[in-house]
Amino acid sequence: MKTLVLSMISIAATVAAMTACTSESDPINDITNPKDAKVEIKLNAGVVNVETKAQIVPKPITGTTFSEATQVPLLRLEGATSPTWSTATNPTNATITGSNVVLDDSQKFYPAESDTKVYFIGYYPSTGSYTSGIVSYTGIVGETDILCTPETCVGSKHEPASSPSLQFNHMLSQVEIKLKGDVAAQNAFGKIKKIELVNIPTSLDLTLGSTIAIAAKNDSPIQNIAVYDNATGTNLTTTATTIGETAMIYNGGSQKYGTSANSLEIKITYGDTNTTSIVNVNNMTTGLETGKKHVITLSFKEKIEVSSAITEWDTSTGESGNGEVG
């Protein structure tokens, strides 16, 4: 069964807005003795235009909201200021339906100390292994997106935050491949059998905190990620056409793929004898970026020419580049 795949446009809210603790004067509950009674935390979640490649029933996320009773891991810490997330113990699942978050009993109340603030971080999917503020994922082979919220403050019992919301952000990059070729190229190259992204790390560490980061594990295996793989193959057309699946991959970290310092290699297998060619995409100023979709067009002529365009997952435009291989 295919792994759940998520893709999502970037959240527009700034980290400052998501981490601010603003007050509201109205009490959360109608209680007889506000000083001593438990006060429940009210929290929402936001997801925008999430899609899945594999149809899973029930689908965990539909459109802009979570499907009914989706289980999402949350970490909770308390303190007067931003906490140290490496001290957080194992996460507890919250139940999210639509944008409504139902916290577990162990997480749902403010502490009795009225001025002690509460902070949350959420991540998805739950298949990662959590240890001391780090979620470790394995088997990230293009079919699974990793989502995470920044540190989110919900205020204190005395001053609860106004409408706090968990906003989930992409931690990977999308890569979509398009092909086109003139009549001469169609005859010369024949059918396209396979398109691969070369030597991509598949084990990643997601570090939680006031700043969220993702990195390849030091001992991460690397492998080619097949965007398209069909022994029969497909014919080139004169108009650029998407081939295979959009892959979600690690962007390379401090040396982003697609730059002169770290090329994004694309391996193409074609023709009756399964000839292979390597295309190097290495002239992008910023390279692959988290939360952005990168459309790479392979133009088959006498040689394969490459152009690339970057768009936010909210469809705004970004940089473009090109390259070629003989």
242 & 275 share domain: yes
Q: What is the CATH number of the domain that holds 79?
A: 2.60.40
Contact 248, 288 (CB under 8 A): no
| Domain count for the chain | 2
Whether 136 is in a domain gets the answer yes
**Are 318 and 210 in a shared domain?**
yes
What integer is the mean pLDDT of 68-76? 87
> Which of 111, 135, 170 represents a domain boundary (last residue)?
170
Same domain, 259 and 212: yes
The verdict on 232 and 289 lying in the same domain is yes
For residue 31, being part of any structural domain is answered with no
Q: Is residue 10 part of a domain?
A: no
Q: Does residue 245 fall inside a structural domain?
A: yes
Say whether both 178 and 319 belong to one domain. yes
pLDDT in the model for residue 251: 97
What is the model's pLDDT at position 13? 34
Tell whether 154 is covered by a domain: yes
Average pLDDT rounded to a whole number, residues 300-324: 61
Residue 155 sits in the same domain as residue 196: no
- pLDDT tens readout for residues 17-68: 344 454 443 443 443 454 567 788 877 776 544 433 322 223 454 445 666 7
Residue 121 belongs to some domain of the structure: yes
Structural domain harbouring 292: 174-323
Query: Cα separation of 103 and 73, whole Å?
Result: 10
- Residues 188, 132, single domain; the answer is no
Question: Where a domain ends, among 170, 195, 220?
Answer: 170
240 and 157 share one domain: no
pLDDT of amino acid 66: 63
Phi-psi region of 61 (alpha: psi -120 to 50; beta: other; left: phi over 0): beta
Specify the higher pLDDT residue, 28 or 141: 141
**What are 227's strand-pairing partners?**
none
Question: How many CA atoms lie within 13 Å of 281's alpha carbon, on the beta-carbon side?
Answer: 30
pLDDT of residue 325 exceeding 80: no
**Do 211 and 277 share a structural domain?**
yes
Q: What average pLDDT does this structure show over 236-265? A: 95
**DSSP symbols for 270-321:** ETTTTEEEEEEE---SS-S-TTEEEEEEEEESSSEEEEEEEEETTS-EEEEE
**pLDDT value for 169:** 83
| Co-location of 181 and 72 in the same domain | no
Does some domain include residue 5?
no
Same domain as 232, residue 308: yes
pLDDT confidence of residue 185: 92
Separation between Cα atoms, residue 295 and residue 174, nearest integer Å? 8
Q: What is the pLDDT of residue 7?
A: 32
Under 8 Å between Cβ of 172 and 107 = no
Residue 161 lies in a domain: yes
| Domain end residue (candidates: 110, 144, 170) | 170
Residue written as token pair 């001290």: 87
Residue 324 has pLDDT above 90, yes or no: no
Looking at this protein, which amino acid is placed at residue 268? I
The verdict on 222 and 139 lying in the same domain is no
